[in-house]
Amino acid sequence: MQFQERFSEVIRAYGAGALGDTRYLLASLRPQEVANLLESTPPKVRQVLWDLMDEDDENQVLQYLSEDIRSEFLESMNTAQLVAAVDDLDTDDLADLLQEFPDAIAQQVLASMSKNDRARVEALLSYPEDSAGGLMNTDPITVRPRHALDIVLRYLRLRKDLPETTDALVVVNSHDEYVGMLPIAKILTSDPSVTVREVMDSEAKALSVDMSDTDVARLFSEEDLVSAPVVDQDGKLVGRITIDDVVDVIIEDADEAVLARAGLDLDEDTFAPIAKAARRRAVWLGINLITAFLAAAVINMFEATIQKVVALAVLMPIVASMGGIAGTQTLTLVIRGIALGHIGRANLMWLLNREFVVAVLNGVFWATLVAIAAAAAFQDLILGALIAIAMIVNILVAAVSGSLLPTMLNRLSIDPAIAGGVILTTITDVTGFFVFLGLATWAYA
């Protein structure tokens, strides 16, 4: 049965007041599906569904909830419940969850753990969340190069269980320095008498602990990796990253690319209370209002010209809109290129030149069409020439701005996906209005 069908069944049972049936249906769903269901319901319904679940099921679901919704449930839990909630989590998931706890409770949770587990979690907490260190798990199985595969096989049998997504063992020397990877397939298909050194992959790359999560995702994509070891600055093994963690990064980056342009938070609750949603969106509406006032101030400078030639008011939006679209195309292309690692200092100028030429070609073509239409509609050749010049200039400025803005914003530690669109719109609006109305003031003086 598809998730949407199960979701509909749960909502129907809840709506009919059949809480027993609702509890049964919730128990039949996987934790990921329950998390999705909770995120798809309004807060009041969500709380009732949460209360219908057993504590063990709640603990499993917590790790799959978005940060915004998870925080709501964590606030209603006491210390004992919080300690129980993290008991069965993987080290990396536990570290992520602890960062949302109040400091006092986080310390109590850490104190309840064994010495080894606590040391592993504290090590993860010392790394930035968006780095390989913050993404990794501390559960790699290690072997030494001198061991025979027969010994490795016996060791694995004694363990009886392997960490999830284990496609290879990590080979380290006596100083715990990374040496290579030993694929599980090699262990199963090679002569048991040969040593690990003879069949291991010494060319397999290890990830630096301070590598950004975006670079980690890119490397997994390029190398088709299922897992990868993580080493510190001295080359010593500190953990491993698996494909399931990388998929989370890819999804988050994709969500951020969509939501950031609208000024929405990545973890924002779709069904957040009205007051909270209004407060969050008010910030970007305010910023947009400031930029709109700036554009309006430019228009106001040429009020007399607009009164003299009313057609200018009709044609102004065309100039601004064409520049905005042209700039957005370039901005999106460059942000994507930077995210994929395709654009850097070495090729940025080439891209700028390419976008400039494209802008010239498109600007001349569309400006000519608009000029002809404007001149014919208003019986004014001068007006047609003015809008053509203004469109070409604005499209060129938009292309240059769209090419350079992402790099400039990155250097200022500002996310171009969030701020780029607002700044670009301001540039194209102000430039388009100023050039068009300024030329008109000169021509019709």
pLDDT digits (tens, 9 = 90+) for 212-241: 888 898 888 888 899 999 999 999 999 899
Give the Cα separation of 6 and 13 in Å (integer).
11
- Residue 394 confidence (pLDDT) above 90: yes
Share of the chain above pLDDT 90, in %: 28
Phi, psi (degrees; rounded to nearest 5) at 161 = -145, 150
Closest CA to 204 of 174, 185, 188, 224: 224
Domains, the chain: 3-126 (1.25.60.10), 142-262 (3.10.580.10), 274-443 (1.10.357.20)
| pTM of the predicted protein model | 0.61
**pLDDT tens-digit profile of 46-64?**
888 888 888 788 778 887 8
Question: Residue type for 140, please?
Answer: P
pLDDT band of 264, cuts 50, 70, 90: low
Work out the average pLDDT over 70-85.
74
Helix (H, G, I), strand (E, B) or coil at 240: strand
Mean pLDDT of the chain: 83
CA–CA distances in Å: residue 183 to residues 54, 152, 155, 302, 333: 40, 12, 15, 72, 38
Give the pLDDT confidence score for residue 111 in this predicted structure: 77
**pLDDT tens-digit profile of 359-381?**
999 999 999 999 999 999 989 99
Share of the chain above pLDDT 70, in %: 88
Write the burial class of residue 83 (CB in 10 Å: 0-12 exposed, 13-18 middle, 19+ buried). Answer: middle
**Residue 55 token pair:** 């504590």
**pLDDT tens-digit profile of 117-138?**
777 777 777 888 888 888 888 8
> Are 70 and 38 in contact, with CB atoms under 8 Å apart?
no
Q: Which contiguous run of DSSP H or E holds residue 238?
A: strand 237-242
Strand order across the 237-242 sheet: 207-208, 227-231, 237-242
- Cα dihedral 227, 230, 236, 237 in deg (nearest 10): -40
Give 164 or 181, the one with higher predicted confidence.
181
Give the pLDDT confidence score for residue 290 in this predicted structure: 85
Give the pLDDT confidence score for residue 35 in this predicted structure: 83
Q: CB-based contacts of 431: which residues, under 8 Å, 6+ apart?
A: 323, 393, 394, 397, 398
pLDDT band of 387, cuts 50, 70, 90: very high
**pLDDT tens-digit profile of 296-339?**
888 888 888 888 788 888 899 999 999 989 998 898 888 878 77
**Residue 177 token pair:** 């320095």
